[in-house]
Structure 1
Amino acid sequence: MEKVKPKKHLGQHFLTDLGIAEKIAKSLTGHQGIRKVLEIGPGMGVLTDFLLMQDWDLYLVDIDSESIRYLHKKYPDLGDKIIEADFLTGDFATVMQEPYAIVGNFPYNISSQIFFKVLEQRHQVTEVVCMLQKEVAQRIASPKGNKDYGILSVLLQAFYDIEYLFSVSPEVFNPPPKVNSGVIRLKRNEINKLDCDEKLFFRVVKQGFSTRRKTLRNCLKSMGLTESLNQDPIMDKRAEQLDVQEFVGLTKKLQESWNQ
């Protein structure tokens, strides 16, 4: 079969190192007993080959029609489990119908958007094993107080236990990206609902990191802080100094101050 050419506008960098592909595949644990797996952006199936060896109930999604044609020829038995679609706009909650895991070499230019989609489907997505730009991977896995800690760190850590697994150098891709890559694993935690208004929690986290070097008092002033909350010592901190539970507490304080 003729090889698929990586497309720059789709952010495609095809993994060529079989050892790394196998290592990524083996990092998927089947957390919470899940057997159904969705691979995002399989390209020519380098990772897919190792996933199939592990006997997952595997689905493939790719936005690239050339890759889809190639995958249908390579894996005829997968049939309609090979899906031509954009994961960001597709209704995969309906496609998968039950809890599932996500795996893949994520396009660097949309990796953050993929994670926001995962957050939307957090009650169905039990595990994610993925490769993405190293700095983004480190940010997601970073603890509070670290310069890498940010919006995605807090939002994902609220619902997932996250591990940074290993780094990957550019030369194992075609074409080589200009950055290093990192592989991380997210496992759904036991939190079904935060102890606060979740929509407000998301707003507070995003607004809190809107200007990293400013205190929360300055970042959140547009949200209508009461005088008492304005004087609260937590407002002297910066967003990067708060962990998930501290953000939950801040969200509750904001709610309560509005209700007084």
Structure 2
Amino acid sequence: MKPHTPRKRFGQNFLQDQGVINDIISCIHPQPNDAMVEIGPGLAALTQPLLTKINTLHAVEIDRDIVANLTGRFSADKLVIHNFDALKFDFGSLADQIAPGGQIRLVGNLPYNISTPLLFHLAGFAPQVNDCHFMLQNEVVLRMVAEPSNADYGRLSVMLQYHFHMEKLLDVPPDAFFPPPKVDSAIVRMIPRPFELQAADPAALEKLVAQAFSQRRKTLRNNLKGIVSDDDFAALDIDSSIRPENLPVRDYVRLVNYLHTPSGALQQDA
């Protein structure tokens, strides 16, 4: 079988460092009966060792040449391939199919050119996910795990931390890949979190957070003018003069719940 040429349009950088691969598998800690789904299996750097640990692996892969490569290497009862764009794939339906009443585990070296929209897409399936272990650009991972009042804290931080507990696990250098990317990489673990305070309207939360961070250097009062009044901020005891990066996730949820309460009164904490 002829070697596969990495395709820039699919953001392909293939992991090849066996030491890094072993470390990632150790972090995932796969078990035989896991309902596991790999996003972007590529040339099977993670796929092959995972298949020595689990009974069946599902994989979502957009590149038909890679699908053909994997189909020729692994039996269909061990590796079930979904030739589909992960950005449009219904992970919820797959979870219902392979883990009825349960949850799936997600793993993968995510394409760096679509990592942010893909993370937002995956967040929508959080209730049907047990955990995620993803390779991403290090700068994206730093944004994901950033705490309030940190320069990396932003829209991605708020929306993912609303759904997940997240932890950076490993740094991965460019030379662990072929071709080597121009950025450092990292492994992140994401575990869906129980809602301490649930957004009454998740879509409204996403819209509010996007507006709040539309101009990072301006205050909440300026960025949310016409949406949140001074009286609203005062009712929630939120300082409207701070910048969006200073407001914790929980306060964004409190704010959107207050705005979307029919009576206009502050909802009590759950």
Q: Structure 2 length normalisation: TM-score?
A: 0.87
**2:168 matched to 1:169?**
no
Query: Aligned AA for 1:7?
Result: R
Range with bigger deviation, 97-106 or 193-202: 193-202
Residue number in structure 1 paired with 2:185: 181
Unaligned regions of 5+ residues in structure 1, if any? none
Superposed CA deviations along residues 165-223 of structure 1, whole A, max 9, x for unmatched, are: 11111111111111111110001112287154322222221111111111111111142
Which residue does 1:35 correspond to in 2? 34
Q: Is the 2:61–2:67 Cα contact (8 Å) retained in structure 1?
A: yes
| Residue number in structure 1 paired with 2:49 | 50
Alignment of 1:172-251 (within 5 A): 172-191=176-195, 194-223=198-227, 225-229=228-232, 233-251=238-256
SS at match of 2:181: coil
Higher helix share: 1
**Amino acid aligned to 1:47:** L
SS in 2 for 1:221: coil
Cα shift at 1:5: 1.3
Aligned to 1:81: 80
Distance (whole Å) between structure 1 residues aligned to residue 77 and residue 136 of structure 2: 26
The residue identity in structure 2 corresponding to 1:92 is: F
Specify the alignment match of 1:8 in structure 2.
8
CA drift at 1:95: 2.5
Structure 2 CA distance for partners of 1:64 and 1:198, relative to 1, 3 Å? same
Give the aligned CA root-mean-square deviation in angstroms: 2.3
Percent of matched pairs sharing the same residue: 34
Alignment of 1:98-113 (within 5 A): 98=99, 99-113=103-117
The alpha-carbon distance between structure 1 residues 34 and 145, as it changes in their structure 2 partners (threshold 3 A), is farther
**TM-aligned CA deviation for residue 256 of structure 1:** 5.1
For 1:53 and 1:183, the matched residues in 2 are separated by 21
Question: Contact conserved, 1:131 with 1:184, CA < 8 A, in 2?
Answer: yes
* TM-score, reference length from structure 1: 0.91
Letter aligned with residue 14 of structure 1: F
Give CA deviations for 1:215-244 in whole Å, capped at 9, x if unaligned.
111111142x33522666521111111111
The residue aligned with 2:19 is: 19
Return the alpha-carbon distance in structure 1 between the equivalents of residues 197 and 29 of structure 2: 24
CA, structure 1 residues 210+34, in 2 after alignment: closer, same or farther (shift >3 Å)?
farther
For 1:154 and 1:60, the matched residues in 2 are separated by: 28
3-state SS of paired residue (1:76): coil
Letter in 1 for 2:92: A
Runs (5+) with no aligned partner, structure 2? 266-270
Distance 1:54 1:193 in 2: 37
**Counterpart in the other structure of 1:254:** 259
